[in-house]
Chains A and B, each alone.
Chain A
Amino acid sequence: MRINRGIALILVLSIFIFNISHIAYADNSGTDKQTAADHSVETIRQNSSDLVGYDAYIDTFKGNDVSGSTYELSSDKLDNELSQNIEILNDGSIKTTETNSKIVIPVDLVSDGLFNVKFEYSTIDSGVNPISFRFYIDGELPFKEAGIMELNRLWKQEEPIKSDLNGNDMLPNMVVLSDWQKYIAVDTERLFEEPFKFLFRSGHHTITLEFIGGIIGLKNLCLVPPERLPTYKEYLENRKDIPKYSGDSITMEAENIHTASTMFLIPRNDMSSPYTQPFSLENTKLNILGGDSWKIPGETASWDTSGFIKTEALYRISFRFRQGISNQSNVYRRLVINGETPFAEANKIAFKYESNWQSEYIGDYYVHLKPGDIISLECVLGNRGKILGEINKLVNSLNTTYRQIIMVTGSTPDSYRDYSLTELMPNLLSDLKSEKKHVEKIVEMLSTERKEYKSQMGFSTLYDAIRLLDAIIKNPRSITKSNRLSVLKSHISSIGSMIMSLREQPLTLDSITFSSGHTEIPKDNPDFFGEVKYRFDRFMTSFKVDYTMISDSDSHGVKVWVNTGRDQATILKQLIDNDFTPRKKIGVQLQLVNGSIIEANLAGKGPEVALQCGDADLMNYAIRNALYDLSSFDDFESIRENFIPSAFIPYQYHDGYYGVPETMSFLVMFCRDDILDELGLEPPTTWQEITEKTLPILNQNHMQMGIGAIASAQSLFLNMLYQNNGKLYADDFKTTALDSEIAHETMLFATRLFTDYSCPQSYDAVSRFRTGEMPLFIDNYALYNNLSYTLPELKGLWSMVPIPGTKNSQGKINNTQLVGSTASVMFKSVKNPEKAWEFIKWWTSTQTQTWFGNRQESLLGASGRYTPANINVISKLPWNQEQLDVLQSQVDVIQTLPQIPGSYFLGRALNNAFLTTVLSGGNAREELLKWNEQVNMELERKRLEFDFKPTSYR
């Protein structure tokens, strides 16, 4: 009885309390929110983007006359006044003189017409990035996609694939060519199967071509009416007199490419089948092309048939390939011969899914080939293009709706409050209705393709989304109830992630065979017993082969340890085998170890050189006399120019230098330009601007800015301190300088960002960036690639800028930051210091680091972009010009901190001070002073222990 009464009492109390809290909450924020919401919705309507997408552009011109004649735009017609940075060569071709250039040409048209834009180009500079290309008609971009086109560079393998002394194939280098390439203006994402059609009304127009990021040559620029490709029947009709091939099958290995459109299309080793050629049980042979590194639409590989095709005839083409990764659906390639697509069906050749290898003909087609023809396969979206385009639009529109809703309600709305959404957002219902229709349309499109999509991929998400939208449309108030808003958000994310998976088209190619269709072609897989035998053979081989990677030439090679993933270790080994050992004649014993160096050293089993050593560890080894002073080598000074001037400060102890930097990561700020535009904001350049302008506006609209998780707030604090011209250590390095006024002010400011301005303490940047509720955040610059990869629907809508700085009294903005780096070290126990030093020099050299960085990216994909410390390397990685400018501007101002004995304590002290202030409401000054004292005590202890004498750091 007593229990029952107790429960009843509790229930009543809780209901009471709930209601009171809601009333209180509602009262506080009522009026403010109304007006803010009004204002922001207005802003949205006014500032919406003016540019249409290509599909809208093309739709408006349906039914127009398409006929027209070709207009050649030769260089003598150029407008010399308006064009920038170009010169005209004797043969009439155009050459740009700077990495940014503009070509302006007037053209007069006789009648209306749709035209493709065609030209040939060659890349002349030695950059590695694709070149951005924009096309303007009469000074304006006709549609959005015309502003984000790209020209690929042409790559080839420096040498044919060779083996090293052990019989393992060496990975060839990719070098860039400046051959002429044919180009037709096409969507970078390949969402649209056909090249862009630009509408020109009759009369006088000015065409502008803008190129950013490279020096190119240009010729044969023309406007052509869109061609219609012949169907296969027509194609065959036209070639009645060409004989069908009747000889033996001719097989070409796919890994010997002629050219590729990206440096990441490299041959790889695949040991999953004994029929993959070239085959070896014991050695690593490069026997396939592609796989994970050939999956983005637009990537093209070409092969030269010289030496294979000897007679002109009609051939059946077959491939031995593996396509087992892509959601059990087809993967598409476009077949191109000598730069032209032979017939319409060749635009999207389907490679079916199967978990094993396949050896299949391309349909029933006979292709006309002559000796010396160049065959290419281009990754295209095939039937998925339309669907992807629709999903892109859907996600963008849903994200916008979501964002608009949050501007009114915040992301966790009060379910007892009436936000009057439908009054504040009159378009809400119609938007939701059209979005629902959109989802239904996508479901239909997927269904008609359904026989391709064996798995149910995508359907359940879409059905769920339809149901949710339905429910909201019926009762708009329910958005704020039972979590609906966050469910909506997660549906948006799921649909968005479909884009990623639909977009990728990985294909692994072993060989290409030309035959008559009646002779044998390479076998796909062995039967069951063959498979078992193969596995057994490989297993037994593992007892014979020496995997310890000692290169033959020198059995007392340098012993090197790496601590990374397997992929990176593989790349390093390849580089050592291909380049270091042959050139320097020094052997290397490379081991991938995740254990402790300390233990190993104690037992005498440690390495002589260790890579990727962290700052703190390095100093710990150095002060305990475990490391070799690298400055004792004569050419030490000469390698310093590869790094920023202060790069060696963390590795300096007393007068010695104990490490050479390998990687260096720093922060940048990522911005959703489209959202900032809507809100009338610019990316902030100073912290003052952030607190005075940016954050208030963001907060009003229930948006946030990410300044880093609170658990790593110490780096935020230190950066701000240095921007304020403060210092961490006193000049004599005996104590910190954290008890200064500057430190205190900085601490106050930094903690206030979390407490007063509600910067989130912990967040998932990617998902919030996608929905736009966090249009600004600060993070490691290497995240750039992750973002491009994960958020392809946002292409062109966001950018990377330097982190905010602090304005000093003269008005100059100081956006210094302190960077973290890893380094290579040499241990005192080294047997042959000279050889070890050669290795370290080689490893940190520009050439090696570039190779390593690019290969890592081609193996690991987008998230694998390397962050080198060698500043010459950064520009050799595929960043485009705009990004390079931003990165360079940060590199120019970064600083490093010296590591002194006891400095390990600093991190946790700052953290504790910070956390206590923010989470427990402590007093910033007191906390700072309290922990500062602890740090100083520790510094003193360690200083005495090691008899540390501060030196001048350079």
Chain B
Amino acid sequence: MINSKHKYSLAHRIKSSWVSYLMLIPFFSLVLFFIVIPVSAAIVLSFTDFNMVEFPKWVGWLNYQRLFIEDQTFLIALKNTLFFALVNGPISYIFAFIMAWIINEMPRKFRVFMTVVFYAPSISGNIYFIWTYLFNGDQYGIANSFLMNMNIIKEPIQWLTDAKYNMTIVILIQIWLSLGVGFLSFIAGLQSIDISQYEAGIIDGIKNRFQRLWYITIPNMKSMLLFGAVIQIAGALSVGDVTQALTGGYTSMNYSTMTIINYITDYATQRYEMGYASAIGVVLFILVVVCKKSLFRLFRS
């Protein structure tokens, strides 16, 4: 490390770290304008009543009060979101890692091809269409006609409308979509593990892939794994696009697939209550931070 903490005063340390600050300026000035300021504004808004047309009115804790004490629908959204996160999060995470690992174990020629195959959903535009196609509620829709021809069902099922089914479908689709940044970064991370570590491992008595995976690969990837987990958690709790596009989010039957994000969008775009929406956003944010912190602790072990 360049500067050690103990010997110098704060002012001195700041002065001598000028290079570090210099390198940080380009990026962080952007962050200041496009992230810090808007986020702070949003947090401030959460203490106001803002209908997006007239000037915000300060209401203090009123929004939060309403959120925690009176709002029943929020609980539904919360429940849905947590359910999604708990089912999706681990599954997608493990799925991304396993796929990355499998691809890494393959001969070099196939790797790029396989990566393309698995990353494909994220590249193609308009991915939701294929699912509406499959799970169309018409009796001639693919899934329905298949099941009816097999005599498994007699009447067509409204997959995306009926509260009994739409949640499951959305979870499936979300998992299918889950090979994104995490997947790619795992691959990048796996690539960078030093070969000599593996060689040393063989000498130390590691016999097959699985042992290699457990004893060498995973420990080396710790920081990558943590990164992937954080992304995954932030993503899982921020599910909103899929539910909105496929089942209507806040208009789904009895709010069955409404996540917190959908709820926020509802308040922001339909009800014009931006203050309340911001408050929900802040709560979501805190939720994510809490999860992240627990993840960090988990990974330290």
A and B touch in the complex (CB under 8 A): yes
- Verify A916–B253 contact, CB threshold 8 A: yes
Check A625 for interface membership: any CB of B closer than 8 A. Answer: yes
Cα A601 to Cα B52 in complex, Å, equals 9
Residues of A within 8 A of B138 (CB): 760, 762-764
Distance in angstroms between the alpha carbons of A760 and B141 in the assembled complex? 13
A486 to B141, CA, bound (A): 11
B149 touches A598 (CB 8 A): no
Known: A761-B158, A915-B161. A625 touches B140 (CB 8 A): no
Chain A residues whose CB sits within 8 angstroms of the CB of B141 once the complex forms: 762
Contact of A620 among B163, B254, B272 (CB under 8 A): B272
- Taking the complex as formed, is B180 at the interface, i.e. its CB lies under 8 A from any CB of chain A? no
Task: Tell me which of A482, A483, A920 contacts B163 (CB under 8 A).
Answer: A920
Which listed residue (A22, A486, A620, A761) contacts B140, Cβ 8 A? A486
A486 and B149 in contact (CB under 8 A), knowing A621-B53, A915-B161, A919-B162?
Answer: yes
Cβ contact within 8 Å between A486 and B145: yes
Assess whether B148 is interfacial by the CB under 8 Å rule.
yes
Which stretch, A38-46, A410-418, A432-440, touches the partner chain B? A410-418
Residues in chain A near residue B162, CB distance under 8 A: 915, 919-920
Select which of B149, B151, B164 is within 8 A of A22 by beta carbon.
Answer: B151
Q: Which residues from A are CB-within-8-Å of B272?
A: 598, 620, 624
User: Given contacts A411-B139, A483-B149, is CB(A912)–CB(B156) below 8 Å?
Assistant: no
Q: Is B136 engaged at the interface, CB distance under 8 Å to the other chain?
A: yes
- Assuming the A-B contacts A624-B53, A916-B253, A919-B162, are A762 and B151 also in contact, with contact meaning beta carbons closer than 8 angstroms in the complex? no
Interface presence of A500 (CB below 8 A): no
Task: Give A916's nearest chain B residue, CB to CB.
Answer: B254
- Find out whether the CB atom of A762 lies under 8 angstroms from the CB atom of B136: yes
With beta carbons under 8 angstroms apart, the residue of B52, B53, B139, B161 that contacts A711 is B161
CA distance A916 to B164 in the complex (A): 10
The docked-state distance in angstroms from the alpha carbon of A625 to that of B54 is 8
With A624-B54, A626-B53, A919-B253 in contact, is A904–B149 under 8 Å at CB?
no
In the bound complex, what is the Cα–Cα distance between A904 and B158 (angstroms)?
Answer: 24
In the complex, which residues of chain A have a beta carbon less than 8 angstroms from the beta carbon of B151? 18, 21-22, 414-415
Closest A residue to B254 by beta carbon equals A912
For residue A598, which residues in chain B have a CB less than 8 angstroms away from its CB?
Answer: 52-53, 272
**Contact A761/B156 with A486-B145, A904-B270 known, Cβ cut-off 8 Å:** yes
> Contacts A710-B161, A912-B253 given: A762-B149 contact, CB under 8 Å?
no
CA distance A508 to B137 in the complex (A): 41
Measured CB to CB, the nearest residue on chain A to B50 is A602
Closest CB in chain A relative to B162 CB, distance in Å: 5
Report if A911 contacts B (CB, 8 A).
Answer: yes
Known: A620-B272, A763-B138, A764-B140. A625 touches B53 (CB 8 A): yes
A412-B149 in contact given A904-B270, A919-B162 (Cβ < 8 Å): yes
A-B contact count (CB 8 A): 84
Does A908 make an interface contact (CB < 8 A)? yes
Residue of B nearest to A922 (CB): B254
Q: Which residues of B contact A621 (CB under 8 A)?
A: 53
Residue of B nearest to A912 (CB): B254
B93 interface residue, CB < 8 Å from A? no
With contact pairs A761-B156, A762-B136 given, residues A911 and B52 touching in the complex (Cβ less than 8 Å) = no
User: What are the interface flags for A396-427 relative to B under an 8 Å C-beta threshold, 1 for contact and 0 otherwise?
Assistant: 00000000000000011011000000000000
Mask: chain A, 13-30; 1 = CB below 8 Å from B; 0 = not = 000001001100000000
Minimum CB distance partner of B161 in chain A = A711
Task: For the complex, give the distance between the alpha carbons of A653 and B54 in Å.
Answer: 17
- Nearest to B141 among chain A residues (CB) is A762
When the two chains form their complex, are residues B54 and A919 in contact, meaning their CB atoms are under 8 A apart?
A: no
Neighbouring B residues of A762 by C-beta, 8 Å:
136-138, 141, 156, 158, 161
A414, A904, A915 pick with most chain B CB within 10 angstroms? A915
Decide if B51 is an interface residue (CB 8 Å cutoff): yes
Mark A895-912 against chain B: 1 for CB-CB distance below 8 A, else 0: 000000000100110011
* A758 neighbours in B (Cβ, 8 Å): 155
Write the chain A residue with the least CB distance to B146: A483
Let me know if A601 and B53 touch, CB within 8 A. Answer: yes
* Residue of chain A at shortest CB distance from B270: A904
Inter-chain contacts of B136 with A (CB < 8 A):
762
For B13, the chain A residues whose CB sits under 8 A away are none
B251 contacts A by Cβ under 8 Å = yes
A764 to B163, CA, bound (A): 22
Determine the distance from Cα of A907 to Cα of B138 in the docked complex, in whole angstroms: 23
Per the bound structure, the CA–CA distance linking A710 and B149 in Å amounts to 23
The interface centre, meaning the residue of A598, A620, A624, A762 with most chain B CB atoms within 10 A of its CB, is A762
| Cβ–Cβ contact A412 & B139, under 8 A | yes
Bound: A532/B121 CA distance, A: 36
How would residues 480 to 492 of chain A score, 1 for a CB under 8 Å from any chain B CB and 0 otherwise?
0011001000000
> What is the CA–CA distance of A908 and B251 in the complex, to the nearest angstrom?
6
In contact, A908 and B250 (Cβ under 8 angstroms): yes
30-70 of chain B: CB within 8 A of chain A: 51-54
A764 to B132, CA, bound (A): 13
* Chain B residue nearest to A711 in the complex (CB): B161
Encoded as 1 (CB less than 8 Å from any A CB) or 0, chain B from 264 to 300 comes to: 0000001110000000000000000000000000000
B252 to chain A, nearest CB (A): 9
* Chain B positions within 8 Å of A18 at CB level: 151
Question: In the assembled complex, how far is the CB of residue B202 from the closest CB belonging to chain A, in whole angstroms?
Answer: 35
User: Which residues in window 597-640 of A have CB below 8 A to B?
Assistant: 598, 601-602, 620-621, 624-626
Give 1 or 0 for each of B152-180: 1 = CB within 8 Å of chain A CB: 00011010011110000000000000000
Report Cα–Cα, A767/B140, bound state, in Å. Answer: 10
What does the 1/0 interface line of A44-55 toward B look like (CB < 8 Å)? 000000000000
For residue B128, give the distance in angstroms from its CB to the closest CB of chain A. 16
Closest to A908 in B: B251
Q: Give A769 Cβ to nearest chain B Cβ, in Å.
A: 13
Contact of B164 among A626, A767, A919 (CB under 8 A): A919
Residues of chain B contacted by A915 (CB below 8 angstroms): 161-163, 253-254
CA distance A909 to B53 in the complex (A): 26
A412 and B148 in contact (CB under 8 A), knowing A904-B271, A912-B253? yes
- The CA-CA distance from A761 to B155 in the complex, in Å, is 10
Interchain CA distance A379-B266 in the complex, whole Å: 52
Interface string of A75-91 (1 = CB under 8 A from B): 00000000000000000
Q: How far is the CB of A944 from chain B (nearest CB, A)?
A: 12
- CB-CB contacts below 8 Å: A681-728 with B: 709-711
Q: Flag if B145 contacts A412 (CB, 8 Å).
A: yes
Interface residues of A in 571-611 (CB under 8 A from B): 598, 601-602
| Alpha-carbon distance A666/B188, docked complex (angstroms) | 57
In the complex, the chain B residue whose C-beta lies closest to that of A599 is: B52
Instruction: Give the complex CA separation of A483 and B148 in angstroms.
Output: 10
* In the complex, chain B residues whose CB is within 8 Å of the CB of A624: 51-54, 272
Q: Judge whether A919 and B53 touch: CB under 8 Å.
A: no
Q: Given the complex of chains A and B, what is the CA–CA distance between A50 and B241 in angstroms?
A: 56
Instruction: Mark each residue of chain A from 799 to 823: 1 if its CB lies under 8 Å from any CB of chain B, else 0.
Output: 0000000000000000000000000
Q: Please report the C-alpha to C-alpha distance between residue A763 and residue B158 in the assembled complex, in whole angstroms.
A: 11
Give the residue name and chain of the B residue nearest to A763 (CB): B138
On chain B, the residues within 8 Å of A625 by CB distance are 53-54
Given A760-B156, A919-B253: 18 more A-B contacts, CB < 8 Å = A21-B151, A412-B149, A483-B149, A601-B53, A602-B53, A621-B53, A624-B51, A624-B52, A624-B54, A624-B272, A626-B53, A758-B155, A760-B138, A760-B139, A761-B161, A762-B141, A915-B162, A915-B163
* 28 interchain pairs, CB-CB under 8 A: A412-B148, A486-B140, A598-B52, A601-B53, A624-B51, A624-B53, A624-B54, A625-B54, A710-B161, A758-B155, A760-B138, A760-B139, A760-B156, A761-B137, A761-B161, A762-B137, A762-B141, A762-B161, A763-B138, A764-B138, A767-B140, A904-B271, A908-B250, A908-B251, A911-B251, A915-B254, A916-B254, A920-B164
Those 5 A-B pairs whose CB atoms lie nearest each other, nearest first = A762-B137, A624-B53, A915-B253, A626-B53, A412-B148
By a beta-carbon cutoff of 8 Å, the part of chain B in contact with chain A is 51-54, 136-141, 145, 148-149, 151, 155-156, 158, 161-164, 250-251, 253-254, 270-272
